[in-house]
Amino acid sequence: MERPYLLYCDGSCLGNPGPGGWAYRVWQGARLLREQSGTEQNTTNSRMELRAAIEGLKSFPSASDIVVVSDSRYLISGMTELLPLWNARNWRSSNGPAIRNQALWQELIAASKRHKVRWQWVRGHSAVPEQESVDRLAAVAAARASQAAA
């Protein structure tokens, strides 16, 4: 049986909102298969976390077995715990306001439906080399966005 793909993803933002960057790296076993990063202006860290996962999942051409690894509790708890609650409340939080970033969450749901996806949280800056490397890629992307805005 083939090992699952490991999709490490991270987002970064200089200010909140501010110029931001996202990045992902795809590993299979000890082999790095691909990486990508991107930027957005006037965004938030949460949006960049979601964008990294979306773009990473979209990079797989067909149904795949994927473990999405992130240090974002927002991303991981959203996908593993909160989505059923948000759906049941018509995309509203428990105290009434609309869920932020609904369009991105829906894009993420669509991207994940094509695959067998598991969501795994890792503590940020905890010496997980793959997560540290994708964190650096996202920070470089955010810096690139900041320079472009200047």
Positions marked catalytic = 10-11, 49, 71, 125, 135
Count the residues in the chain.
150
Burial class (CB in 10 A: 0-12, 13-18, 19+), 47: buried
Q: What does DSSP assign to residue 39?
A: E
Q: Where do the H-state alpha helices sit in 12-101? A: 45-58, 73-77, 83-88
Return the number of other C-beta atoms located less than 10 Å from residue 35's C-beta.
16
